Amino acid sequence: MASYATSAEGPLTQIPSSVCYLPFSAIIPTSKLCNIASQISSDSKPPCRYTFLRHNILKKRFNPESHLGQIEFNFDTSNYSSHFTPEPGKKYATMMQMLQYPFSVGSIHIPASTTKTTIQARPVIDPKYYQGDDGEIDFLTMVESQVFSHKITTTAPLSSMIVKRVFPPLPEKGKEDDLHEYVRNYTTTDWHPIGTCAMGPLPEEGGVGGVVDSRLRVHGINRLRVIDASIMPLHVSAHIQATVYAIAEKGASLILEDYDAISKG
């Protein structure tokens, strides 16, 4: 506080990051966005009711007229790339884009083993970025989001603080927007995984094939609940921490309700 008050220097002049959530309509030209939306596959033959419902919700959210925060832009004053080695003595910033409602669906499995699986065994996780019927939709929107990031960082006043873009290196003049190979080769996680134990009733109950019910109890297993981000069927237009807190509070209340019911019964 003293440093900032006397010379406007010190830790208080530094922010951890600047965050903004935008609809695709704010960053992608209407004609291009409509063309991308027209490529979303038909939902006439869903592999199961769960993916059918998920696909329909995502398709509605992709509406070019939607004001939903579909992409997060996060400007962090550090080097966030594991593919770029910073030079000593230089300062870096990273403009990141996080897709909030991807069509791509990853997988997580218990590792195959000839012996008994233990708690120490690491799960086999495959995010399957840009794969599946509509993985190309995710890819195209991420490319356009990267193009918009370039626009942000080359617009005053931010541009006056940036010496140059170092990764990916600037291409030859006229090809600044050609970021397809960069997006394809360097997409990574932003550490907000959800959905591996998604909430939903069983198919025989008229549901869509979820893992936990509305009281967070695992289907078919007595006295087991899941109370974390994995019960979320879809992502939200936000970092998930506050939502996870709410899930935890609700889960605690459900446990107490059931305990009281058993005690009184």
Catalytic residues: 192
d(CA 109, CA 149): 35
d(CA 132, CA 134): 6
d(CA 114, CA 189): 31
H-helix segments, 22-123: 30-37, 49-61
Q: 184 by DSSP, 3-state: which?
A: helix
- The answer for residues whose C-beta is within 8 angstroms of residue 97's C-beta and 6 or more apart is 71, 72, 73, 74, 142, 145, 146, 149
The Cβ of residue 77 has, within 10 Å, a number of other Cβ atoms equal to 15
